[in-house]
Amino acid sequence: MAYIINDECISCGACESECPVSCISAGDAAYVIDADTCIECGNCANVCPVGAPQAE
């Protein structure tokens, strides 16, 4: 299952640079993950200071 970013996101951007397939981008209120591109590597979850990225 692809990762999603929950409401805990503080828009720090740490996850975006860690994504090997560049599927994370800044949204209106928080970062978002393109589920069709996500390879479920977990890099985003590993670097997030608030645990916002979670497996869907």
Measured from the Cβ of residue 34, the count of other Cβ atoms closer than 10 Å reads 13
Cα dihedral sign, 4-34-38-21? negative
pLDDT for 25: 98
pTM: 0.91
Q: How far is CA 40 from CA 18, 28, 54, in A?
A: 12, 23, 10
8-35 pLDDT, tens digit per residue, is 999 999 999 999 999 999 999 999 999 9
DSSP label at 21? T
